[in-house]
A and B are shown apart, each in its own frame.
Chain A
Amino acid sequence: MFFVLIKFVKISLKSSPWLVKPALALGVGSLITCLSAFSANNNLDAIKQSIQSGQLDQALRSVQQERQTAPKDVQVQFLEGVILAQQGQHDRAIEAFKKMTEAYPDLPEPYNNLGVLYASKGRLEEARAAFDKAILTHASYAAAHKNLSDVQAQLTRQSYARALQVDPKVKAAAAQLTLLGAITTERSDISKIPGPAVRPATSNNPVLSELAETPSKGGASSPKENPAPSIKVPVKEPAITASAKPEEPNPEIEPIKSAVQSWAQSWSRKDMKKYFAAYASNFAPPDNMTRAKWESERELRIVSKKKIQVAVSHFEIDIQGNKAKVNFSQVYESDNFKGNSRKSLELTKQGGHWLITRETVN
């Protein structure tokens, strides 16, 4: 068995905060590769060098000094755990990483290393739970993980079909995979993550929130039902966050919601007339298209599908006079595609109707 203990984490690069290099295989001979040791802190570099040259005691002393000057430095805490693990002080290393997972539940690296250490002690269930949590820290990872397992389920089905000599195409229902509608906002620089008590607000992306609530084991719905995360799962009906005070809900909220819903409905029914009627005359089509061109493209897109299902939910409505901005979650499903995205519509009230003036995918 081969676990990768993440030794140094490259954390501060905005573009790719997730690049980590596996550095040490615990238990099975160790392999130290060149490390992408980006660090703002020169002392950290020195510590990393000490680790690389095997001077673990020295490294530990330096880390402990660093911790006194900067007790909240994530990098330093992390390195301490790595050194303890390397020294074979597995229990202490577990403690260190466990504390980190409590303080920074959104960092995958401490969970990963915790998993490796649990596994090395034969605590496999705990290891598994830790790895699961590592994956669930990031919506994209979680979605990719889920998609991967859905595809593997399909491959498995196909293999069984081959074994049983039935046509795999007929027997295997097409997988419904989750297409991420947006790039999740980057994680902020780790060093800026606020302290333990505050959990950085997870995005409202339903893909994320739902996956985060999916129990890590056996929680996935059976492939037959609906493998794609569906927003039907009632997450404490969050959020009609209107700007109006809660005790006096803006009377326009319901009309706006129903305008958006009927727009989605006409789209689902491929009722082009009603669909276009949901857009205001001053609607600005994307890419500076003319209205006519936009309409003909939409029509072609929509009418060509056999079946379309558009469901909207999780509204956030911001009303300013006769203008409104609506953020909501949209699950779009057509013949061979299922996508989940966050959408914004800007509407204006014209002649008693809320009409779309702008449509954007977040």
Chain B
Amino acid sequence: MTDPVLRISGAGLRLRGRDLWHGLDLAIASGEFVAVLGPSGSGKTTLLRAILGLQKLSAGSIRVDGRPVRRGNDRVGYIPQQRPFPLGTNMRARDLIALGVNGTRFGAPIPRRGDRARVDALLEAVGAASYADDPVGSLSGGEQQRLRIGQALADHPALLLCDEPLSSLDLKNQRAVTSIIDEQRRSTGAGVMFVTHDINPVLASVDRILYIAGGRFRLGTPDEVLRSDVLSELYGAPIEVVRTAGRLLVAGIPEGEPHHPHHDHDHEEDAG
């Protein structure tokens, strides 16, 4: 077994005098798909920001690909929450992906040999080649989200962080986006950390689940974590996990709105 692509050891985070979580241990192996679940405000996005080096931990450490986290690590790809680009946005589909290839280069914006081929390959990999030259504002949410995946894959990341990439997509596009990410982790061996409110669209791909609630967490396979007794203990309140018609419903979560995608998602303000 090779080194894990992500190793979180004894991590804790205090924000504005409140413990979001502490004592968090997690290792993600190459090619592993870990879903992160939990109610709004449980610190899921903040955990991603810590892995990106944008948020300092108050305890513990995080290593990506064997090295301590740092800002601008090209071993980490990041897929943000789907926020539609407005119609007049001055960018074509291929340009959004190209930002992943050349967007961090300071200096004269002269294309390098291989840039165009790389963008074409990424367009192909996420199934966006047919609308490569269309303005992004004219594309559907699902099409835009494929482009964001393509952008995140630009530097061959060892770890792919996905922050609610399915919210505001319809069922068909949720499946399509999930299958692209699933396919990529299998073909490239990237580990996937997938923050989501709804486990159902990704349940078939998930290896393990990290469930964060009330400053505590549980880690395990879906069958180990998504159980009435486990979640009841985690929340300290009676929770019912129901499996019906191939879907999994979690009922009785206090205060939280786990299946409600929060759109107001400014990262300075939102710790969820």
Are A and B associated in one complex? no
